[in-house]
Amino acid sequence: MSDWGAPLPELTGLSEAQAAERLRQHGPNELPQAARRTGWRIAAELLREPMLQLLAAAGAIYLVLGDVGEACMLLAFVVLSMLISLVQESRTERVLEALRDLSSPRALVLRGGERKRIAGREVVPGDLIVLEEGDRVPADARLLSANDLLTDESLLTGESVPVSKVVWAQGQAAARPGGDGQAWVYAGSMVVRGQGLAEVTATGTRSEMGHIGVALRQIESSQPALQQQTRALVKTFAVAGVTLSLLMTLIYVWTRGDVLAAVLAGISLAMSLLPQEFLLILTVFMAMGAWRISQQRVLVRRASAIEALGTATVLCTDKTGTLTLNRMSIVAMQVPGQTWLAQDEVSGPLSPALRTLLQHGILASERDPFDPMEKAFWALGAQCLSAEEVTHLEWKMVHEYGLSPEMLAMSHVWRAPGQDRHVIATKGAPEAIADLCHLDAVRLAEVRQAADVFARQGMRVLGVARSTHRGPDAHSSWPALQHDFDFEYLGLVALADPLRPTVRDAVQVCREAGIHVAMITGDHPVTALAIAAQAGLDVQGGVVQGEDLAALSDEALRERVAQAAVFARVMPEQKLRIVKALQASGHVVAMTGDGVNDAPSLKAADIGIAMGARGTDVAREAAAMVLLDDDFGTITQAVRSGRRIDDNLRKAMAFVLAVHVPIAGLTLLPLLMGWPLLLTPVHIAFLELIIDPVCSIVFEAEPEERDIMRRPPREPGRPLLTRAMMGWSLLQGLLVLMIVAAAYAWLLHQGLDEASARVGGFLSLVAANVVLIMGNRTFGGQILVAAFKPNPALWRTLAATIALLALVLAVPVLRGLFKFNLPDAYTAQIVGLVALGTMLVLQALKAIRSPSGTSKRESCA
């Protein structure tokens, strides 16, 4: 277009009839809406879950037994679980909605020779779209005309700087996004400078944006490993409970002949083995974990990410906006004989030569720029130059020369009031500026060498020059080419997207924690390698480029990703392949990102982490976690919290497994030995009132282990409770069972009546369980030392337990319900001996497992 106020006379665009027909053929320019499941259908699917059925059955049992409070608590948990799942299901559908909103902006098109603003969803293949600075491209298109056109494609490619565009040539094949000099623009990208006219070639799912949407729809979220493991444990406990309770009922009827008592005894045993605590633990730990992590400015959108944080082995990070600030800044300037570095900047003013260089760089930029590099010139000018040097408010730009494939430089022609002399400010590729200035071979070599030094550090290098011209402002008076001016070379300006201040320390923490950090970006390999080196990543493996990845088989890709830490010029589907290759090798993958191009890999990763402030809606909706402050260093704090949650989950699970052994044993053993029953449903319900808050609230509040970020993560695929740890829990439970059973037998042997022996045995069991709590607060070390670790929730729970026991013993009605007598001094001594003996034996066993008495990872794995 020569005149942007009117359409080209030879191009009229589609007629309204043609556009309507193509809209019917190709469909709207938007992503298709995924079929939604109704709330009733989701609820029906959830009710078929075995764990919820078991929980509902447990509530029904308590209801039949008359324990309305416990029944209501369990049934309320069923309802709460369903509500949480319903909310999460609805959130997953919002990913495609956010993508549709971004991919369907308003568009300016030529229809029947007239400009017309239409909804983006109405754009069809063959439409002529008018592109101007600040517009978002509505569809993929090829350029028929362009004037100094630059677009920001970082949402699609991750490139940190805008890319230049050229006019499409007949027969030129379509290209993928990324890099300068392309004749194609893509849906979702932003025009940051210039104008253009383009013919739409792809809309909806056929566009590059649409390909990402299709990939998102095809990614299935797998069930979290922790839920799978917990489900297996629940099933095992349920089968064991039903089997043993039936067996106990038959034995009771056979030995004592009382059918009703036999049924109650069977129900007691089933309750003692019913595994409702596991689901309670998961719910409380995930809810409290999300709250604790939110205090660190991290929003958790899916609970599965919390459990995965503790086992993450690889962190794949985007570069632009994640490792870097996504804000171009001038980091170096060079004039003949002098180099200025931003990192060495002092309070003194710039030299005259540097001030001239910066001033003319600003004059070669737009007054209100979209281009981030031009914004960088203005930002440094505001910092280092006077207001008069920066603004030139009275100057008038009378002519401009745009970028072209033949000359990668742009010039602005300015005239000051009352003068007939014009100032021409030019900036562009160093080679182009050197060419305009007609530098000799020696000076040209010096410029190239200096530019190469900056480029090898990942900087974007521009040359700046100036010239003067005398004559009227008439358009016809200006030379046709920039070469016709007599330019003076001023120097070089190097720009970069700076590294975030916290990144290097965060990468070091990840390395110490056994987490491999890999950078995956669509940016230039040189820039990627430079940023990776600054961040402290392992760059010994070099850079793997997207074109190299495309040629690798899945097996070869798994081998390559294990060796490399820097990936550049990577397309969205290749990011997804990298994540899947790492997962196929057994890694738990965390992936960070902020652009649309990151969305598929964010959704596929075990832990998708989106940038909250700068990230797109698509990335945030696809991710499981969102960094509200966009600080990469916050990720390490989230990993620390995830590992603490993982540790405390295992402690809580181990305690639950251990504590159920003596409860079940003391329900079954009196029947086999012919003793009076020690535990009835009311006793077990009381114990559950103690166990539930201990295994959930108390263990969730446990402080972190000292070596939490100086050890490798839990091996991927390794169960939360390994055989060794389950064996240790069973051993603890058997120890308590033997000690308490011996105490109960001794009390019966001393001739105490059933009520007196029962209160002694029950108090002994509670005391031994308190020792179990202390013993499981750490993976190693001494029980007495662990007892004094700060945990207010523990002491509140123990105080509440003592108060409840005192209430039961003090109120005759409750004492009768429990079939207790008031304990005497002798019974109290037995209870004290049980607690002391349990602690000594348990401490001896812990010392055998961990001879040094320290927290050893292998002793608890």
Q: What residues are labeled active site? A: 318
Bridge partners of 394, per DSSP, are none
The amino acid at residue 786 is A
Closest CA to 692 of 652, 658, 664, 730: 652
Distances (CA, A) of 859 to 20, 76, 106, 465: 71, 38, 62, 69
| Contact of 216 with 99, CB cutoff 8 Å | yes
Q: Are 127 and 14 in contact (CB under 8 A)?
A: yes
How far is Cα of residue 633 from the mean position of the Cα atoms in its chain? 13
Closest of 542, 544, 572 to residue 557, by C-alpha: 544
Please, what is the end-to-end C-alpha distance for the chain in angstroms?
Answer: 70
Cα distances from 94 to residues 101, 779, 804, in angstroms, run 10, 42, 48
d(CA 295, CA 330): 35
Write b or e for each residue in 23-49: b if 16 or more Cβ atoms lie within 10 A of its Cβ, otherwise e. beebebbbbeeeeeeeeeebeeebeeb
Starting at the edge strand found earlier in the chain, the sheet holding 338-341 runs: 338-341, 329-335, 488-496, 460-470, 421-428, 409-415, 396-401
Q: Phi then psi for 247, rounded to 5 degrees?
A: -65, -45
- Per-residue b or e along 592-614, where b marks 16 or more CB atoms closer than 10 Å to that residue's CB: bbbbbbbbbbbbbbbbbbbbbeb
Q: How many CB atoms lie within 10 A of CB 655?
A: 26
State which amino acid sits at residue 752: L
Rg (CA), the chain: 36
815 SS3 class: helix
Give dist(CA 275, CA 499) in Å, integer.
Answer: 49
DSSP-derived secondary structure letter, 159: -
Question: Furthest-apart CA pair in the chain: how many Å?
Answer: 123
For 99-152, the DSSP string reads: HHHHH---EEEEETTEEEEE-GGG--TT-EEEEETTPBP-SEEEEEEEEEEEEE
CA-based nearest residue to 523, from 184, 175, 177, 188: 177
SS3 content of the chain, % helix, strand, coil (to 5): 55, 15, 30
Q: Which residues pair with 130 in a beta bridge?
A: 197
What the block records as the tokens of 814 is 């409750």
Tokens describing residue 97: 């909605």
Give me the DSSP letters along 712-735. PPPPTT--SS-HHHHHHHHHHHHH
- Distance, CA of 354 to CA of 361 (rounded, Å): 11
| Cα 820 from Cα 800, distance rounded (Å) | 20
Beta bridge partners of 423: 414, 468
Handedness of CA 290, 294, 298, 300 (dihedral sign): positive
Are the C-beta atoms of 243 and 123 separated by less than 8 Å? no
CA 322 to CA 525: how far, in whole Å?
17
Type of residue numbered 430: P
